[in-house]
Chain A
Amino acid sequence: MGTIVKDVTFKNDIPKGFLSDTHVSYISTYGKDKDDYEYCMTEYLRLSGIYWGLTTLDLLNNLDKLDKAEIISFVVSCQTDEGGFSPSPRHDCSILYTLSAIQVLCTYDQLDAIDVNKAIKYIASLQNEDGSFCGDVWGEVDTRFSFCAVASLALVGRLWTDCPINTKHCVEFIVSCMNFDGGFGCRPGSETHSGQVYCCVGALSILHELHHIDADLLGWWLCERQLPSGGLNGRPEKLPDVCYSWWVLSSLAVIGKMHWIDQESLKSFIIASQDPETGGIADRPGDMVDPFHTLFGVAGLSLMGQTNLKKINPVFCMPQYVIDRLAINVEILTI
């Protein structure tokens, strides 16, 4: 029997139009109730959650809805003795939350609130001889961590001057993770996955090493993520998910192939995944919303030129004006 294409179909009562006000109130009231079950259970990723919420509100031109001082003081409290950041105080630190911390403080233009040098030392200490990066002291290697390292150092201005890591080996390791389909996995030998593609393409873009990529081949694999519903999946034979509107779309933008997908139908998919009652965006139409998918849905819409949103940078997933203020220049392919 033939394979059936895994996809979703829209019901009739899906939202039409971008409900920006509902998303502003969803994010700005999220986490107000510190006893909320979901809030407590997501303590292990709190700092990233703050980055997701903050970036979403800034894109929606409502950053002032959050308590800047409270957030900055929370971020500061997450810096550990090792120099890295934990998702919440008293949790273990890792490179993932170190990047989130830096992203939040850059958006607020308050990097001086933390010990930047210590954070840089922590990141550098996680690089291995083969150029790869561990997530933390326990040694898990993944190309996600290469992106975290490169992006963090670029944001704090230590990638091109006084660079504490071996960028040549970093690039060699990422290239060693390239697969038959032009994409990238977690480690050498790992299967291509859109999230890893975003991380590797992003890191190579920051380092101006995109010529290692076969843009036509990877662009083809990426544009084949689009399903009949208009949504994008993470890899073949998987269901569409709004977060891939970001991982896939931004990767396509960096390699100059955003026009290889049907943007109108992707927009419809993201719009359909909104919840008009609570605000926020879910992974697909009808599901429960969360801040993670809300950010990536809004970010995807921004990348496709949605008018009442700030412009987003496809590599850092941060507002472009912040990247401009930091005078960071990434490589974007145009053909």
Chain B
Amino acid sequence: MWNYRKKCFANSEKPKSEIEAMLNSELTFIESCLRNNPKSYGCWHQRCFVLLKLKTPDWKRELQLCNLFLQFDDRNFHCWDYRRFVCSHSNHPLKDEIDYTNKLIESNFSNYSSWHYRSKLLPEVYPDSSVGNKIAERKLLEELELVQNAFFTDPNDQSAWFYHKWLLGRGHPMQSILSLHVSRFPSTLTCTLRKPIKEEDCQQALVRVNGTVISGKWKPHSSACYMNTWTFTPHEKIGTGLISVSCQVDGVETQITMEIDDNEALCCAKNTIETFCESSSDAKLLVLEEELNSCRELNELEPDNKWVVLTLVFLMKAIDPIRFFSEMKELLKSLCIIDSKRSCYYQDLHSKYAVENWIICADLQSRKADLRNKGITRLCHVEFLVGLTHLDLSHNKLKALGSTFLVFPWLQELKADDNEITEIDGLKALPSLITLSLNSNGTILELR
């Protein structure tokens, strides 16, 4: 029906002034339809159509219309989208929009849409000069205070807790080379990247031996579209003697020195807390520590509020996941009871933090990993572990050794006794595996 009306406007041969009047009365008609059904895609789109056709659109009135409809229902995403349409076409100052969300947040509880809008407005109005799509620090700290007020006022309103997690930062990792392995016999170079790349990105990669670019062929470790680990086979064998090999791919580079008598050399990037989270300034850390204390107090008042407990975990992770690990572990355990529907999420979250802490403290160059007894339900960040020759995952809670295990080209010994493993698909392509131990597991389904 709306299309029919659009066709009429598009094909009308009436004089421009008459069309303008008709378009304006169409707006009245649309408004009455919206009052009946404020969630109709077709209706809101019709309004966009009319506004774009008008010679003199009244954007102020449109903003007022949005205010009105958002008063009825401040979660109406059609109206919010229309509001963004109006703002972008009328160059309405975004600072005013931030103030508008302030008003809504102060007076209403059902705020998810307002916080969401802020997450878009703030990085645009107060950008952090160094990184894209981030908020300038002083604004970020103000925002932390604002959201803290919100969840202390109403600890059961989830929107503030979700938004707070975002403010803590999650560190979108930059590309980096996690490990570089070179061997003379056979002559190969294996490079593992933090972020997966495609075959075409590999074509631009450069391998140098003693400063000279050498030619060869790149191959990924499986047939997926994007892979972290790539192996380069040079057209001419890598020679003897002390050599320096460097690899430059997807904008990052690393270098390794191979001793005279060595057949193999491996270098692994050094990992720190910042490998797995955003680095925080002293000012931000101070604010986070204060927040941690306030949340602890709130936790005493409301011990069964899962949002408080989970936010304690997120705060500890953002401040120092190693210092706070045992407390985080206990809190996540308690969440499995307070919020049992999501207990697998909390177990997986704990596993991730356990593996991250292990990676930060481990000597990956030794190529041996002891991950026994960590309560691990999943093995995250395998791309950090590619160089391993020995891996012990015994006494954990793994249910499968799935396709993520296909990445270990040099793994000779794998132990995973006393888990809950029923599926071992990932083991079908471990070329160096000599020893495998899977005692005390579930009934293992056939290796396909």
Contact = CB atoms under 8 A, between A and B. Distances in A.
Interface of A: 2-5, 92, 136, 138-140, 142, 179-181, 185-187, 189-193, 208-209, 211, 214, 216-217, 219-221, 223-224, 226, 230, 235-238, 257, 259-262, 265, 331, 334-335
Closest 8 CB pairs of A and B: A180-B119, A208-B225, A262-B341, A180-B166, A260-B345, A259-B344, A3-B156, A140-B45
Contacts of A259: 344
Contacts of A179: 116, 119
Given A191-B112, A334-B403, 7 more contacts: A138-B6, A185-B81, A190-B81, A191-B80, A236-B162, A260-B342, A335-B378
Contacts of B110: 3, 237
A193 B77 contact: yes
Chain A CB within 10 Å — which of B45, B155, B379, B380 has the most? B45
23 contacts: A3-B109, A3-B154, A136-B3, A186-B77, A189-B120, A190-B77, A191-B112, A191-B117, A208-B226, A211-B196, A211-B226, A216-B349, A223-B341, A226-B342, A237-B158, A259-B344, A260-B342, A260-B345, A261-B341, A262-B342, A334-B402, A335-B380, A335-B382
Contacts of B77: 185-186, 190-191, 193
Contacts of B404: 334-335
Given A211-B196, A220-B345, A259-B344, A237 B75 contact: yes
B348 interface: yes
A281 B45 CA distance: 31
A97 B84 CA distance: 28
B49 interface: yes
Given A2-B154, A5-B156, A334-B402, A214 B342 contact: no
A216 B352 contact: yes
Contact of B195 (A193, A209, A211, A331): A211
A115 B145 CA distance: 60
Contact of B166 (A136, A181, A238, A262): A181
Interface of B: 2-3, 6, 41, 45, 48-49, 75, 77, 80-81, 84, 109-110, 112-113, 116-117, 119-120, 154-159, 162-163, 166, 170, 195-196, 224-226, 340-342, 344-345, 348-349, 352, 378-380, 382, 400, 402-404
A262 B346 CA distance: 13
Chain B CB within 10 Å — which of A136, A192, A259 has the most? A259
Nearest to A93: B3
Contacts of A335: 378-380, 382, 402, 404
Contacts of B119: 179-180
B3 A192 contact: no
A197 to B, nearest CB: 13
Chain B CB within 10 Å — which of A3, A189, A190, A216 has the most? A189
Chain A CB within 10 Å — which of B109, B158, B162, B341 has the most? B341
Contacts of A209: 225-226
